[in-house]
Amino acid sequence: MEREEMISRFSTFFREYKDDEGNSVYLNKLRDLLTVVPKRSLSINWNHLNSFDPELAEELLENPEEVIASAEDAIQIVLREDLMYNGELKIHARFFNLQHTLLVKELGSEHINRLIQVEGIITRVSEVKPFVEKAVFVCKDCGNEMVRLQRPYDNLVKPAKCDACGSRNIELDVEKSRFINFQSFRLQDRPESLKGGQMPRFVDAILLDDLVDTALPGDRVLITGILRVILDQKDKRPIFRKVLEVNHIEQLSKEIEELEISPEDEQKIRELAKRKDIVNAIVDSIAPAIWGHKTVKKGIALALFGGVQRTLPDGTKLRGESHVLLVGDPGVAKSQLLRYVANLAPRAIYTSGKSSSAAGLTAAAVRDEFTGSWVLEAGVLVLADGGFALIDEFDKMSDRDRSAIHEALEQQSISISKAGITATLNSRTTVIAAANPKFGRFNRMKSLPEQLDLPPTLLSRFDLIFLLLDEPDEKVDASIAEHILKVRRGEAEVVTPKIPYDLLKKYIAYARKNVHPVLSREAMEEIKNYYVRMRRGFKRKGENDEGMQPIPITARQLEALIRLSEAHARMRLSETVTREDARAAIEIIESMLRTIAVDEEGALDAAILEVGKSTKKLNKIEKLIDIIKTLESEGEFGAPEENVMEAAKQAGIGTENDIKRLLNDLKRDARIYEPRGGFYKVL
Ligand code: ADP
Ligand code: MG
């Protein structure tokens, strides 16, 4: 098609296209563009064009560069002739709603230089830089000016010598050249569109002018663009690299689930929810190949359904996500459980703490290998925003992740400020993680936080922490062995979940999207009474002790109780949280506290979770330090060990062995030191 013809056909389309109600869609849009703060893009529904002028719509797909330019020329004509505009505003023609949507991994050589529509998630975004759209070169010898139009995906086009005098003394005239904003980003297939551990494919893309800063890492987008190829500079062979020149970008809602739930599905789901034993049926349907671990599975089920996120009138957000941590001996099926859940959970990403990507779990500013400019790259928690991150080897995460992950888990966002890039990325992600003990296996005599390579402040962000010990027990061992053997032999009934896998998957997605339970009065009473009772009981018991009093439970657990009660109601698809839901939440929290937050004497103490040591132990430590301080002057090199021992026993700190252990801990934590064997000083 001739250029002139395309322009005239577009002008006709803009002037004459009317929607079902008879509105001149594009004349109206153009009029709206010319408001106080003029916009620079006209978005055109490809479907409209296709119904009005199919030939032109087809031509656009085949030959986008020229057709888009014609559309832009036509816009200028319509602006001047129909809307009496006589300014200089350049308006981009941007097309959306093409018939066919591609995945990144489907992009191939047949799409080169064609207009295509691609869907994916943005993993990294570069800083915004000026791009010289129209470069004006000046000959330093004769003053001749030469204009070269540039392409954002190509190398700079520069005249080798002056057209007029032949001199090679040529320079870019920045003043006379025209610059527009340029930004690149990386588009990758959505994690949930990849099945079974496929490596995600990506394509680099370019945003120009008014499109810059419209996208952040973690955004799910639908893009129309022209697929370009450029010679890979690093590769000596004639191999090209794909670059997508974006024409139109649309944010996809994060709420949209990838699963289609049909009316028949909905009926089945509603029917299922009526079962009396629905909660148990769901729990038993999680990883049926793994024997036992019922409480853990229940905790995971609660996290899968999740509590309800609320926004207070002052804008404060209360998170609904319950994070779950599994810690335990090697070989107790932690990894296997996480893998199973990664397939079951909607929008889930499975990863390891020592994940190889630069962005790791949170986010990072890194240098792009092709352009050398800084890019902001999203980690797993951002990419899984609105879904789940299943993180194995959580204790092996990088130091950068360690410092950023607190914010990610509690505030559900990740702020980054580095190399001129500042951004806050959303991470409304539920974390289900697994960690191994620092010293190979767990020691029942020591508290959990002391044996984990994770700071206690981080542990306290998890609503549920499960301890999975591998202790020989004849009955249990026999059952596990039998179960594993049956699974191996392919005995169907052992591995067939009570609720079919696909249905459960839909059930979870459906509940998360449609059910938003509210606490009933009875549920509130139940939780309040439990909380008050727990806290009251302990004060009385510790009355005669000196030092700090242990607090059995804190407001953090109270919030966890609310989230878990809501999740329990959601499992039943109930809009109200009943007393029973609250009781179920209390039961699971209580059993967690009883396994990991009891001190040396069997009393509940939340300090173990919050600071990593029991209050009793903290008190003893403080006492012991006081003793060393007072005895420091007694010996030439500090407090003599015998004297410290004597005084500590007197003060009731414990047996000689207890005291020795404490002294060792204090040395390790650099609270005291030993100037000479058998003498101590406080640091
Ligand atoms: P971890 O991550 O805790 O170190 P894995 O998930 O790698 O352990 O499990 C080790 C193996 O032991 C897996 O093949 C798993 O199937 C098996 N296994 C351990 N405990 C159980 C169990 N309770 N039921 C079934 N299989 C089990
Ligand atoms: Mg493992």
pLDDT per residue over 586-642, tens digit each? 999 988 888 887 777 777 777 777 777 777 778 788 888 888 888 888 777 888 888
CATH architecture of 518-610: Orthogonal Bundle (1.10)
**Which of 223-237, 508-522, 589-603 has the largest mean confidence?**
508-522
Q: Does the C-beta of 563 come closer than 6 Å to ligand 1?
A: no
CATH 1.10.10.10 residue ranges in the chain?
615-682
Other C-beta atoms closer than 10 Å to the C-beta of 6 total 23
Q: Whose CA is nearest to atom 13 of ligand 1?
A: 333
- Which residue minimizes the CA distance to atom 14 of ligand 1? 333
User: Which residues touch 599 (CB under 8 Å, ≥6 apart)?
Assistant: 550, 605, 608, 614, 615, 616, 617
Quick one: average pLDDT of 249-254?
83
Residue 194 has pLDDT above 60, yes or no: yes
Q: Where in the chain is the domain with CATH 2.40.50.140?
A: 102-251
Tell me if 153 sits within 8 A of 230, measured CB to CB. yes
The CATH number that domain 615-682 falls under is: 1.10.10.10
Please tell me the distance between residue 401's alpha carbon and the centre of ligand 1 in angstroms.
Answer: 27
CA dihedral for 349, 354, 358, 364, sign (positive or negative): positive
Going by C-beta distance under 8 Å and a sequence separation of 6 or more, which residues neighbour residue 216? 122, 125, 376, 423, 425
Nearest CA to ligand 1 atom 6: 333
CA 507 to chain centre: 23
- Closest ligand to Cα 339: 1
- pLDDT score at 540: 47
Question: What residue spans in the chain does CATH classification 3.30.1640.10 cover?
Answer: 3-96
91 SS3 class: coil
DSSP element (H, E) containing 630: helix 615-631
Distance in Å, CA 338 to ligand 2 centroid: 9
Count of alpha carbons within 13 angstroms of residue 655, beta-carbon side:
1
Q: What is the mean pLDDT of residues 151-170?
A: 88
pLDDT at 545: 55
Using CA atoms, how far apart are residues 174 and 172, in angstroms rounded to an integer? Answer: 6
For residue 511, is pLDDT > 60?
Answer: yes
Q: CB–CB of 77/11 below 8 Å?
A: yes
- Distance of alpha carbon 275 from alpha carbon 2, whole angstroms: 67
* CA 200 / ligand 1 centre spacing (Å): 27
The verdict on the CB of residue 290 being under 6 Å from ligand 1 is yes
- On the question of pLDDT at 196 being above 70, the answer is no
pLDDT band of 257, cuts 50, 70, 90: low
DSSP state at residue 374: E
Q: Which CATH architecture has domain 3-96?
A: 2-Layer Sandwich (3.30)
Instruction: State whether the Cα torsion 93-149-118-369 is positive or negative.
Output: negative
Q: Which atom of ligand 1 is nearest to the CA of 289?
A: 25
Q: Is residue 577 predicted with pLDDT exceeding 60?
A: yes
Gap from CA of 486 to ligand 2 centroid (Å): 22
- Average pLDDT along the chain: 87
Best residue for ligand 1 mutational test, from 469, 484, 491, 495 (most atoms within 8 Å of Cβ)? 484
The least confident of 125-134, 231-240, 516-525 is: 231-240
Higher pLDDT, 257 or 109: 109
CATH of 102-251, one of 3.40.50.1820, 2.40.50.140, 2.60.120.200, 2.60.40.10: 2.40.50.140
